Amino acid sequence: MTRQASWIFGALALAYLVSMALPTLPVHWFIKALPIWWLASVVVVNAAFPGRWVLLGALLMSSLGDVLLAFDLFVYGLAAFLVAQLIYAFLFGRSACWRLERLGWLLYLLLWALCMIALIQPQLGELSVPVYAYLVAIMLMGSLALMSHYALWPGFAGAAIFILSDSLIALGLFQAPLPGHGWWVMMTYYLAQWLLTRTFLEQGRVAAEQP
């Protein structure tokens, strides 16, 4: 991803973060999804990455989740993001193998999942099935990112920050939200999507340059 494309993404993400401090606008959902649509457009024109259409699917499902959540359609938005996480898991899983040097990170990831379950489980109620299904999907994505050939930065970092963003959402819904909850959620979410997109596009560029 070029520096110019990254700066444009940052500007679009900042525009949405600023809009969160304003009264809700009729185009609020559009401003929210626009940074992800920009990443999708960058992926489309990047012919160096052969899996760009798969990555495009993850970004478009994420943007659909953004729109659905903007209209308070939580379960449907969760389903859209679940599909996005499975696509990211597939992209990471293509190069996954057992990496003993990263076993410690994997244990930390498992511990994080267990802590989240302990915190939110008593308040889930009827949402238990969709929330647990999503938890499995995002932990699968994180585990495969960790065991893939991608570097910890930005590859696993993108996956881990996505997990952090979703954890903040869960804590806000089922526990007490942190001060500035919405901003923390969206900042980590946009950063994660940028890191993941950068990871896959950079790998495609490196592969294309190899003889």
* Distance, first Cα to last Cα, the chain: 21
Binning pLDDT at 50, 70 and 90, where does residue 206 land? very low
The model's pTM: 0.93
At 204 the pLDDT is 57
How many domains is the chain partitioned into structurally? 1
Spatial contact of 48 and 206, defined as CB atoms under 8 Å apart: no
Q: What are phi and psi of 171, to 5 degrees?
A: -65, -35
Measured CA to CA, the distance from residue 14 to residue 140 in angstroms comes to 30
Residues 165-190 pLDDT 10s: 999 999 999 988 888 999 999 999 99
Better pLDDT: 101 or 39:
39
Mean pLDDT over 73-85 rounds to 96
Instruction: Return the biggest CA–CA distance within the chain.
Output: 55
> What distances in angstroms separate CA 69 from CA 29, 105, 161, one per listed residue?
9, 31, 19
Mean pLDDT over 148-158 rounds to 92
At 159 the pLDDT is 96
Measured CA to CA, the distance from residue 80 to residue 60 in angstroms comes to 9
Measured CA to CA, the distance from residue 193 to residue 62 in angstroms comes to 9
Residues in the chain: 211
Residues 36-53 pLDDT 10s: 999 999 999 987 777 889
> Tokens 């910890």, residue?
152
Structural domain that includes position 116: 3-209
Residues 106-143 pLDDT 10s: 999 999 999 999 999 999 989 999 999 999 999 999 99
At 38 the pLDDT is 98
At 208 the pLDDT is 41
Hey, what are 161's tokens?
A: 């920050």
Q: In the predicted model, is pLDDT for residue 211 greater than 50?
A: no
Q: In the predicted model, is pLDDT for residue 207 greater than 60?
A: no
Measured CA to CA, the distance from residue 113 to residue 132 in angstroms comes to 10
Q: What angle do helix axes 157-174 and 128-147 make, rounded to 10 degrees? A: 160
- In sequence order, what are the residues at sequence separation of 6 or more whose Cβ sits closer than 8 angstroms to the Cβ of residue 100? none
At 50 the pLDDT is 78
Measured CA to CA, the distance from residue 138 to residue 83 in angstroms comes to 10
Spatial contact of 85 and 134, defined as CB atoms under 8 Å apart: yes
Spatial contact of 55 and 200, defined as CB atoms under 8 Å apart: yes
- The CA angle 129-190-145, to the nearest 5 degrees, is 65
